């Protein structure tokens, strides 16, 4: 149950999947706003960071909008979707014609590398199973559930992995640290499972995450 002051903001990153992410939230009757207004982002109950394309282009857009410090300082629940998840990490090897990796937001201490598909076609595109953890983002999601992926780069398995999948190599299907979490797959294209994940995110607040961390620490 949300209150009149409960707000969910999708950051306008100028990426092509903004509308599909917004529609996915609207399908579950969530009231969301797409904006790059810094004050609105800071005041939101929860924030979504979407993205498709290259990390370098997305980081350039965030920098041009003066949003980098705003995002890294957020204390409310933040969900990165696809490229948005990758932007939460320290750097990405999706460098295009540049010789150096792209510096990302540096919130979660892992790096994005090319997916070792071991001969399977890239990009990894289509339905694949995930193995989940007890993270509240996956409440009610059975291990082995199918979600929809489109990607050629991935976060490796690490201490920040909250869901995993395999396409050639095992990789992080979702990562999290404190109030920041991200999914490599597209919940907006993942039918009922994706809708449940978004519903789980919509239940999160700063207070609920702090309570969960307290319970884990006990």
Q: Which residues are tagged catalytic?
A: 82, 186, 188
Sheet holding 91-92, edge to edge: 102-103, 91-92, 111-114, 153-154
DSSP 156: P
Is residue 186 helix, strand or coil?
coil
Residue 172 near residue 161, CB atoms below 8 Å: yes
- Closest alpha carbon to 87 in 137, 64, 117, 53: 53
CB within 8 Å of 68: residues ≥ 6 apart? 59, 62, 105
């Amino acid at each position: 149950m949300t209150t009149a002051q409960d707000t969910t903001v999708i950051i306008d990153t100028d990426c092509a999947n903004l509308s599909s992410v917004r529609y996915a939230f609207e399908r579950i009757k969530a009231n969301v706003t797409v904006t790059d207004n810094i004050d609105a982002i800071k005041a939101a109950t929860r924030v979504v960071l979407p993205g498709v394309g290259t990390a370098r282009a997305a980081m350039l857009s965030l920098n041009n909008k003066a949003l980098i410090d705003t995002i890294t300082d957020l204390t409310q629940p933040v969900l990165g979707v696809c490229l948005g998840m990758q932007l939460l990490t320290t750097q990405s090897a999706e460098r295009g014609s540049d010789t150096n990796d792209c510096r990302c937001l540096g919130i979660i201490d892992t790096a994005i590398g090319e997916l070792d598909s071991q001969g399977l076609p890239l990009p990894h595109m289509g339905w694949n199973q995930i193995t989940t953890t007890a993270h509240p983002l996956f409440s009610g999601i059975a291990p082995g559930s199918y979600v929809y992926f489109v990607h050629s780069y991935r976060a490796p398995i690490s201490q920040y992995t909250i869901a995993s999948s395999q396409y050639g190599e095992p990789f992080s299907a979702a990562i999290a640290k404190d109030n920041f979490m991200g999914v490599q797959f597209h919940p907006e294209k993942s039918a009922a499972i994706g809708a449940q994940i978004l519903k789980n995110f919509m239940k999160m607040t700063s207070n609920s995450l702090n309570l969960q961390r307290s319970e884990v620490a006990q």
